[in-house]
């Protein structure tokens, strides 16, 4: 069995774009539903932040690559999603249309970005420390564990001054790497709860079809149904991503092939690390 993995927001974008009908069709959807010019990487009108640009770009490229795979008759037995990869994953499993997935990414991104208008937030990427010492560091500095990617690769989220202090302590404690990235909002933390009502309103605007492919969530590793989706979409923005647990659960379910459907290869790299530990 195989699994298509949909990654979250990329950190950057390329400068060369595909020249084919599928990409042009996706770019047209992005212009109409997210008011964004993919090729110029610029807003059409007022727009939003650079982070929202990358979120829309990530969903668009995941959908484009899914279309290519589908055209080649490569279809998954499972779909897994990481962070904001849930939006193209919903289109890939048939719960939303591609247009709805692009629109939802944009609307959620704009809503999240408003949190950054009054506070400065950051993500902290830590490699080399185990979970327990990093949990203690997060608690010491009032930040939160956001992504459990492998046993030694984590993402923290919170207010920027606190994050910089946490990264300094992580390095002093023995981390191989501890880097800070500015962001609009403290994704995957309880702090997002302050805009829960706005998010509830966005997700209530859509009707979700029953997934045609098993869609595995990154919190409890359950297969999501249409009835689950509205609540899950809110909850996943306020709780951590447990990628290592998700990958192990898929392996235990008999999945042997994994295809990353999006920009970059971060999930493949996490999987190789986890596989190495499973073999040792």
- pLDDT, tens digit (0-9, with 9 covering 90-100), for 199-239: 999 999 999 999 999 999 999 999 999 999 999 999 999 99
Q: Does domain 119-183 have CATH number 3.60.15.10?
A: no
Per-residue pLDDT, 52: 97
Per-residue pLDDT, 74: 86
* Residue 122 CA to its chain's centroid (Å): 16
Instruction: Provide CATH 3.40.366.10 ranges for the chain.
Output: 2-115+189-279
- pLDDT, tens digit (0-9, with 9 covering 90-100), for 180-210: 999 999 999 999 999 999 999 999 999 999 9
Binning pLDDT at 50, 70 and 90, where does residue 45 land?
confident
Residue 93 is given by DSSP the state T
CA distance 67 to 61: 10
Question: Angle at which helices 50-71 and 98-113 pack, to 10 degrees?
Answer: 160
Residue 64 is given by DSSP the state H
Can you name the CATH fold of 2-115+189-279?
Answer: Malonyl-Coenzyme A Acyl Carrier Protein; domain 2 (3.40.366)
- Average the pLDDT over 126-150 and give the result: 97
User: Is the pLDDT confidence value at 279 over 90?
Assistant: no
Per-residue pLDDT, 46: 87
CA distance 211 to 178: 38
- Average the pLDDT over 16-30 and give the result: 93
Mean pLDDT of the chain: 96
**Strand order through the sheet with 78-81:** 214-216, 78-81, 2-6, 257-260
CA distance 22 to 279: 40
Q: Is the dihedral of CA 55, 203, 241, 68 positive or negative?
A: negative
Cβ atoms < 10 Å from Cβ of 20: 11
Binning pLDDT at 50, 70 and 90, where does residue 22 land?
very high
Per-residue pLDDT, 229: 97
Q: Is the dihedral of CA 88, 214, 205, 186 positive or negative?
A: negative
Binning pLDDT at 50, 70 and 90, where does residue 247 land?
very high
Binning pLDDT at 50, 70 and 90, where does residue 47 land?
confident
User: Is the pLDDT confidence value at 280 over 80?
Assistant: no
Listed residue (180, 49, 186, 191) closest to 109, CA to CA: 49
- Average the pLDDT over 68-97 and give the result: 96
- pLDDT, tens digit (0-9, with 9 covering 90-100), for 101-111: 999 999 999 99
Residue 69 is given by DSSP the state H
Per-residue pLDDT, 85: 97
Query: Could you give the angle at the alpha carbon of 123 between the alpha carbons of 121 and 127, nearest 5°?
Result: 160
- Average the pLDDT over 250-277 and give the result: 95
Query: Could you give the angle at the alpha carbon of 206 between the alpha carbons of 202 and 208, nearest 5°?
Result: 130
pTM here?
0.96
Per-residue pLDDT, 226: 98
């Amino acid at each position: 069995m195989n699994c298509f993995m949909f990654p979250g927001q990329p950190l950057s974008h390329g400068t060369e774009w595909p020249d084919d009908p599928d990409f042009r069709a996706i770019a047209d959807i992005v212009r109409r539903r997210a008011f964004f010019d993919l090729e110029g990487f610029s807003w059409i009108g007022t727009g939003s932040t650079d982070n929202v640009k990358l979120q829309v770009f990530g969903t668009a490229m995941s959908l484009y690559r899914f279309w290519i795979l589908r055209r080649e008759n490569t279809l998954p037995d499972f779909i897994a999603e990481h962070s904001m990869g849930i939006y193209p994953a919903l289109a890939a499993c048939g719960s939303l249309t591609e247009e709805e997935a692009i629109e939802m990414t944009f609307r959620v991104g704009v809503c999240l970005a408003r949190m950054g208008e009054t506070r400065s937030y950051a993500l902290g990427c830590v490699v080399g420390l185990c979970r327990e010492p990093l949990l203690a560091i997060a608690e010491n500095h009032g930040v939160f564990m956001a992504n459990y990617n492998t046993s030694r690769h984590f993402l923290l989220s919170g207010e920027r001054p606190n994050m910089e202090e946490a990264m300094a302590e992580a390095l002093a404690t023995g981390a191989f790497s501890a880097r800070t990235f500015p962001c609009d909002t403290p994704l995957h933390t309880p702090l997002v709860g302050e805009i829960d009502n706005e998010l509830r309103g966005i997700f209530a605007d859509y009707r979700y079809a029953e997934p045609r492919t098993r869609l595995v969530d990154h919190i409890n590793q359950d297969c999501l149904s249409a009835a689950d989706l509205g609540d899950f979409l809110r909850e996943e923005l306020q709780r951590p991503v447990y990628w290592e647990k998700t990958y192990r659960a898929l392996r235990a379910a008999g999945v042997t092939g994994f295809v990353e459907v999006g920009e970059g290869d971060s999930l493949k790299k996490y999987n190789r690390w986890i596989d190495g530990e499973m073999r040792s």
